[in-house]
Amino acid sequence: LSERSPESFLGELLAAGLLALSGVDGVYGRREAFDRVSDAVDALVLRETAEDGAELIRFPPVVPRRTIEKSGYLASFPNLAGSVFGFEGTEGEAVELAARVQRQEDWSEFQTPIDLMLTPAACYPVYPWVAAAGPLPENGRLIDVQSYCFRHEPARDPARLQSFRMHENVRIGSADEVFAWKESWISRGTALLASIGLGAEKVVASDPFFGRAGRMLSVNQVEQELKFELVHPIAGEKPTAIFSVNYHQDHFGHDFGIWTREGEIAHTACFGAGLERVTLALFAKHGIDVADWPDDVRACLQLNSADGHP
Ligand code: ATP
Ligand code: ZN
């Protein structure tokens, strides 16, 4: 399995009617069987985390530019960010724009950045919302988000998408509370994946901070074990991160002004499940036809009735 290349796995998924090409690398349509499984993964994560009493909120896949500016994202990942632009010109400029499009010429000068960017991780809209509510309640907060995320990293790899969905839980509280919560996800995430037949491995990881200064941030992140991933083979030589846990310490608490009841800067951490990646890992592990998957895996994902298997 791990010997197949990402590109050949993509070919298999297209041939099997699971994905559809869009014309741009890293952006694929999910066809019915794939979509049903990825929705089942989403629901599985929700069932798991609902037990914790997480507050559910859903934001659209755009985030105020101000939020991204405040978070430091543009210093760390300028290469991954996506900005939304709009036309704010005159009628004459609109005519010129259309003419340039017609001639297949560059029309970017008629585009102005608007107040929005594409959401880079599902948790970003949470921080300003929580900050605006004032000091945290006792025991902090736990918030469940799910969103399309955008990262400008085109590749011919079904596991490296430009637009994908992330289901996250965000824990905000005291340093002790947040540290304990993120540690609990090592065994909890491993067990959750085991319940759907995925034997994932925990690895200490780092984010792809941009540039030479960024490399030092990555080293620091690894040394302090601020990020770990649960990885599973999908395609290619190395296993792929399907769950990630990020401990931001007081970074976002500081940037957005989130305080505990005791007046300390809040710590934050998030657990994130990549819905497409977990789905791909399931197809890579159990086969391209859901009907052939082990009964207990289908039962755990509640896929039984939908595919005609009682
Ligand atoms: P933040 O800390 O800002 O919340 P994050 O660091 O949690 O973001 P990642 O850890 O990079 O974000 O990603 C979380 C999960 O999203 C990963 O475990 C993976 O499953 C999925 N993911 C990340 N990048 C991609 C991608 N390019 N294509 C598909 N899935 C992805
Ligand atoms: Zn996050």
**Assessment of whether the complete model's pTM goes beyond 0.85:** yes
- Give backbone dihedrals phi and psi of 243, rounded to 5 degrees, phi first: -120, 145
Label residue 1 by pLDDT band (50, 70, 90).
very low
Ligand 1: distance of its center to the CA of 246 in Å? 10
Point out the ligand nearest to the CA of residue 241.
Answer: 1
% pLDDT > 70, the chain = 97
- Minimum-distance ligand 1 atom for the alpha carbon of 205: 10
Label residue 213 by pLDDT band (50, 70, 90).
confident
The three-state (H, E, C) secondary structure of 156-202, written as one string: CCCCCCCEEEEEEEEEEECHHHHHHHHHHHHHHHHHHHHCCCCCCEE
Distance CA 256, CA 161 (A): 29
**How does pLDDT run across 151-173, given as a tens digit for each residue?**
999 999 999 999 999 999 999 99
Ligand 1: distance of its center to the CA of 244 in Å? 7
Ligand 1 first shell, C-beta below 6 A: 121, 123, 151, 153, 159-161, 164, 166, 207, 229, 241-244, 246, 270, 272, 274, 276-277
Point out the ligand nearest to the CA of residue 170.
Answer: 2
Closest CA to 302 of 17, 30, 42: 42
Ligand 1: distance of its center to the CA of 167 in Å? 10
Label residue 310 by pLDDT band (50, 70, 90).
very low
- Minimum-distance ligand 1 atom for the alpha carbon of 243: 18
Ligand 1: distance of its center to the CA of 23 in Å? 23
Q: Strand 240-249's sheet: what is its strand order? A: 55-56, 141-150, 163-173, 267-274, 240-249, 227-232, 201-204
**How does pLDDT run across 32-69, given as a tens digit for each residue?**
999 999 999 999 999 999 889 999 999 999 999 999 99
- Which residue's alpha carbon is nearest to atom 24 within ligand 1? 160
Is the C-alpha dihedral spanning 161, 165, 169, 173 positive or negative? positive
Ligand 1 binding pocket mutation candidate from 42, 118, 119, 164 (most atoms within 8 A of CB): 164
pLDDT value, residue 305: 62
- Minimum-distance ligand 1 atom for the alpha carbon of 270: 4
Label residue 3 by pLDDT band (50, 70, 90).
confident
153 residue type, one letter: E
- Minimum-distance ligand 1 atom for the alpha carbon of 275: 20
Helix and strand totals (H; E) in the chain: 11, 12
Per the model's pLDDT, the better-predicted residue between 309 and 304 turns out to be: 304
- Give backbone dihedrals phi and psi of 111, rounded to 5 degrees, phi first: -115, 135
CB 135 within 8 A of CB 46: no
